[in-house]
């Protein structure tokens, strides 16, 4: 990462980057530890635990379209500041919610706030990045999500050692609150707003984003199956340490995000996204066929590279297709596809794994990504190239 005078990594970009990095780290601290807390400390059964975990994603999915409309109508500032503040404060509710019903409410509200914060932050960063460097900026901003993927789970496991979950929740809340403080320092750029737009359900989604969003949904079915079941895959096959897999996975994402943006800005999305999807195909095939330590780690790196290329490329595409006053809707539409894909992936993978096993399921996901590649080349890319010239950037 070059931090020269020409670097995009300065000023408001840095403030949004670290606000997001701290928020995502707090999120990932909870990822491996919350299920254990619920089952061991609160004695909530596995089925109810699954519901508590899933309602977070459901809440984010429900709120994203409304968030996109509101930030396009009223601006980003107030929603970003309030969302980061509430995201930090709600961590105090976890140790206080001692039963299933209360925990379900806490998770649902936390998911709502998460949906607002992530949608607004991703839109704000596009406001800040110069249009001609949009791919580079989105790729670099993605590191604020990738670095916590490696640091967060490790930190959460260390903090919750000896069942000290109160300390874990407190630390995550402090991190998130520090992220909130960064939001107070941002000089929010002035962008055109939809001042005369009346609320309607039609305005909640951005139609120009739908082909790319559906493409991402297809891809994220396999991603949802990966992140939710890879630990079980490793346990049943004995191929290696899942923690190391995620570090390798995050390393692949980081490497991709550092370099993919400049490629996008110079050459566009065609070869870039196609290569990323091919990497996803290869990684899933490795998980299905080469069931050993080398195959496991190689798959983790390739899947990380592919993921690190595909999402920021798709995000840059949908933002290139809309004027500034529709960026919120474009990003909320894309993130809704991401959430829905992950949720479907969790459900489908559990069903397929029970019937045919996880290695065979990941092979099927290799085929699914072949379909995603064809969809990209013949539908998403065609739509993008046709409509790009119509957009006022």
Mean of pLDDT over the chain: 87
Same fold, 1-189 and 205-388: yes
b/e 166-190 (16+ beta carbons within 10 angstroms → b): eebbbbbbebbbbbbebbeebebee
Q: What is the pLDDT of residue 212?
A: 96
Q: Is 80 helix (H, G, I), strand (E, B) or coil?
A: helix
Cα–Cα distance, 262 to 336 (Å, whole number): 26
DSSP for 335-367 reads HHHHHHHHHHHHHHHHHHHHHH-HHHHHHHHHH
Per CATH, which fold does 205-388 belong to?
Growth Hormone; Chain: A; (1.20.1250)
Q: pLDDT band at residue 2, thresholds of 50, 70 and 90?
A: very low
The model carries a pTM of 0.81
pLDDT at 69 over 70: yes
* Closest C-alpha among 272, 274, 303, 305 to residue 286: 303
Q: What is the pLDDT of residue 389?
A: 61
pLDDT at 217 over 50: yes
Beta carbons of 224 and 338 less than 8 angstroms apart: no
Length reported for the chain: 393
pLDDT at 94 over 80: yes
Q: pLDDT of 123-139, one tens digit each?
A: 999 889 888 888 888 88
Q: What is the mean pLDDT of residues 353-381?
A: 94
pLDDT at 32 over 90: no
Q: What is the pLDDT of residue 374?
A: 98
Q: What is the pLDDT of residue 3?
A: 43
Q: What is the pLDDT of residue 391?
A: 58
CA distances, 341 to each of 30, 40, 203, 219, 220 (Å): 21, 30, 22, 7, 5
Q: In the chain, pLDDT over 90 holds for what percent of residues?
A: 45
Beta carbons of 304 and 150 less than 8 angstroms apart: no
* Closest C-alpha among 187, 126, 66, 109 to residue 312: 126
Domain ranges of the chain: 1-189, 205-388
198 or 154, higher pLDDT: 154
Query: CB within 8 A of 245, min separation 6: which ones?
Result: 230, 234, 296, 297, 300
The pair of three-digit structure tokens given for residue 23, joined into one six-digit string: 């928020």
pLDDT at 366 over 50: yes
Q: What is the mean pLDDT of residues 207-212?
A: 92
Q: What is the pLDDT of residue 235?
A: 80
Torsion 175-179-147-79 (CA) sign: positive
Q: pLDDT band at residue 4, thresholds of 50, 70 and 90?
A: very low
Q: What is the pLDDT of residue 198?
A: 62
Q: pLDDT of 153-193, one tens digit each?
A: 878 878 887 788 899 999 999 999 999 999 999 998 887 77
The pair of three-digit structure tokens given for residue 236, joined into one six-digit string: 């049943």
Question: How crowded is residue 164: how many other Cβ atoms within 10 Å of its Cβ?
Answer: 12
Per CATH, which fold does 1-189 belong to?
Growth Hormone; Chain: A; (1.20.1250)
CA angle in degrees (0–180, nearest 5) for 25-31-37: 120
């Amino acid at each position: 990462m070059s931090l020269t005078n020409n670097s995009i990594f300065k000023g408001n970009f840095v403030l949004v980057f670290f606000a997001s990095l701290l928020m995502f780290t707090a999120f990932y601290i909870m990822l491996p530890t919350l299920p254990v807390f619920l089952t061991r400390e609160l004695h909530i059964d596995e089925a109810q635990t699954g519901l508590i975990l899933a309602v977070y994603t459901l809440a984010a999915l429900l709120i994203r379209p409304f968030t996109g409309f509101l930030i396009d109508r009223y601006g980003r500032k107030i929603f970003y500041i309030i969302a980061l503040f509430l995201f930090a404060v709600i961590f105090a509710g976890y140790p206080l919610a001692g039963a299933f019903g209360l925990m379900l409410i806490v998770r649902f509200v936390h998911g709502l706030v998460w949906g607002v914060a992530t949608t607004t932050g991703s839109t704000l960063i596009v406001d800040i990045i110069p249009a001609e460097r949009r791919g580079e900026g989105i790729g670099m901003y993605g590191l604020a999500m990738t670095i916590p993927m490696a640091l967060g789970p490790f930190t959460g496991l260390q903090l919750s050692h000896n069942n000290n979950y109160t300390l874990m929740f407190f630390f995550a809340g402090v991190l998130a609150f520090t992220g909130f403080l960064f939001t107070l320092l941002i000089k929010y750029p002035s962008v055109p707003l939809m001042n005369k737009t009346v609320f309607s359900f039609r305005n909640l989604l951005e139609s120009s984003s739908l082909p790319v969003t559906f493409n991402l949904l297809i891809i994220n079915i396999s991603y949802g199956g990966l992140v939710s079941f890879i630990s079980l895959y490793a346990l049943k096959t004995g191929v290696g340490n899942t923690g190391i897999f995620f570090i390798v996975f995050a390393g692949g994402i980081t490497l991709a995000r550092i370099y993919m943006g400049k490629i996008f800005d110079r050459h566009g999305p065609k070869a870039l996204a196609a290569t990323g999807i091919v990497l996803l195909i290869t990684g899933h095939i490795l998980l299905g066929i080469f069931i050993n330590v080398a195959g496991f780690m190689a798959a983790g790196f390739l899947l990380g590279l592919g993921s690190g290329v595909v999402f920021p490329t798709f995000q840059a595409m949908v933002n290139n297709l809309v004027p500034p006053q529709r960026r919120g809707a474009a990003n909320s539409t894309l993130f809704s596809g991401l959430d829905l894909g992950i949720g479907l992936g969790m459900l489908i993978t559990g069903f397929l794994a029970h019937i045919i096993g996880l290695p065979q399921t990941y092979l099927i996901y290799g085929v699914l990504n072949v379909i995603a590649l064809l969809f990209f080349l013949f539908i998403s890319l065609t739509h993008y190239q046709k409509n790009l010239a119509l957009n006022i950037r």
